[in-house]
Amino acid sequence: AQSVTQPDIHITVSEGASLELRCNYSYGATPYLFWYVQSPGQGLQLLLKYFSGDTLVQGIKGFEAEFKRSQSSFNLRKPSVHWSDAAEYFCAVGGTDKLIFGTGTRLQVFP
Amino acid sequence: DAGVIQSPRHEVTEMGQEVTLRCKPISGHNSLFWYRQTMMRGLELLIYFNNNVPIDDSGMPEDRFSAKMPNASFSTLKIQPSEPRDSAVYFCASSLETGGLKLFFGSGTQLSVL
């Protein structure tokens, strides 16, 4: 069965610190992988996606993610977090039909 | 481009009433998705359309829920009768590609059923 697991419900970091949000997936074939961000009261916005090729993908707002097939993971990283990055982050997996979303990780940033 | 437009932004209704949520996808997009977001269950896909045709409605929770897409620029999600457990944020998203490999989300409808 297709599934996405985001083991961290809530993460708190200080502004300027590095960030890594974890995502593990279960999928029967080579997956398409995504990270979306949701600000309060808003819909989701695509940060980055992996379809094939280079396993390290760059996204908007300085985010990057690395696909590791052996670990079934697609963790999101940012070297230095800004206060405006506080939001909820969703990992998603899909093929040619539909996306399955994880339950999200809420990021809180302290000054 | 105006993006995906959903209405209303907020809906408060009483149990047993009919609720209709509306969505206008981005012009030219051929796939449309309805998601429901709750604290307990996260983001769940309810149904999606491709070229106005429902492709997968396996996520629709029960017969009280129905969705239509009469044309390429409009879709509705109806709940009849509504129940308190239907309270959630309902998102509509559209995509250029079949299957929604890049989704554009609306701002959602916050539904409260009392």
Partner residue opposite A101 with nearest CB, options B43, B56, B106: B43
Mutate to test the interface with A, among B6, B45, B101, B107 (most CBs of A within 10 A): B101
| Per-residue pLDDT at A97 exceeds 90 | no
B105 to chain A, any CB pair closer than 8 A? The answer is: yes
**What residues have CB less than 8 Å from A29, skipping those under 6 apart?**
A95
pLDDT of B99 over the 60 cut: no
Binning chain A into helix, strand and coil, the percentages to the nearest 5 are 10, 55, 40
Answer whether B42 sits within 8 Å of A95, measured CB to CB.
no
**Which of B42, B91, B99 is the closest to A97 by Cβ?**
B99
User: In this structure, what is the dihedral angle of CA atoms B109, B55, A90, B111, given to the nearest 10 degrees?
Assistant: 20
Q: Output the DSSP codes for B52-106.
A: TEEEE-TT--STTEEEEEEETTEEEEEESS--GGG-EEEEEEEESSTT-SS-EE-
CA distance A93 to chain B (A): 9
Q: What is the pLDDT of residue B100?
A: 55
The proportion of chain B whose per-residue pLDDT surpasses 90, expressed as a percent, equals 77
User: Hey, what amino acid is at A101?
Assistant: F
User: By the CB < 8 Å criterion, does B53 face chain A?
Assistant: no
| pLDDT one-digit tens code per residue, B33-74 | 999 999 888 889 999 999 999 998 989 988 999 999 999 999
Does B103 lie at the interface with A, CB-CB under 8 angstroms? yes
- Inter-chain touch B101–A49, beta carbons under 8 Å: yes
Q: From chain A, pick out residues whose CB is under 8 angstroms from the CB of B45.
A: 98-101
